[in-house]
Amino acid sequence: MKQFTLLLCMVLIFGAVACEKIELPSNDKTETEKPADDDTSGGGDDSTGNNGGTTDGDDEGDDKPTDTFYISVADLDKIETDKYVALHAYIVGSVKGSSMKGTIFGTEGAVASNIAVADSPDERDYTRCAPIQLPANSDARLFLNLQDNPENLGAEVILYGKKTNYFRTSGLKPCEDFMWPEEYDDLQ
């Protein structure tokens, strides 16, 4: 919680210094334009230790968020292992077994120990999802798991945790904190 609070303070300070409003991407899937003076030479390799953002050198035209303080599920593979990230995603299910092939899309048979998230609330392809560990006795498990909170299916959430290999793919283990988008909006 302290690390998330520190990250949040840094976001607010850098946001004020940059003199730009931080916005979550809209759900209408339109491309968000970046100001012309942004450095777009990144190419995806962020050796500065920055844990978020998009990689402007991509040759695909998908609609990744341009906010540099959180990343999408699609960008999770581009982040170094053991780096802390803020991940913007939708809860689409949970994982049973030892790999993402055991993803349960929906609430029927959901487990409390993890959730599967994706860039779209309608995603049903496990290869486009990321597993998120919900540690025992944590607020993340109490409020996010689909076994006890089926109303969270399809919910938009910002998750904070360490990027690692989980269920044989890139995921967050553990999820140390989370925020609903309306809470993020209230901070601005």
Q: What is the pLDDT of residues 49-89, one digit of tens each?
A: 333 433 333 434 343 334 457 899 999 999 999 999 999 99
Q: What is the pLDDT of residues 147-178, one digit of tens each?
A: 999 999 999 999 999 999 999 999 999 999 99
Please name the residue that has the structure tokens 């290869």: 127
Could you give the dihedral angle defined by the CA atoms of residues 60, 61, 65 and 70, in that order, rounded to the nearest 10 degrees? 0
| Domain 2-26+64-186 indexed as CATH 2.40.50.200 | yes
**What span, in angstroms and rounded, lies between the C-alpha atoms of 88 and 41?**
23
Q: Exposed (0-12), middle (13-18) or buried (19+): which is 62, by Cβ within 10 Å?
A: exposed
What's this model's pTM, rounded to 2 decimal places? 0.64
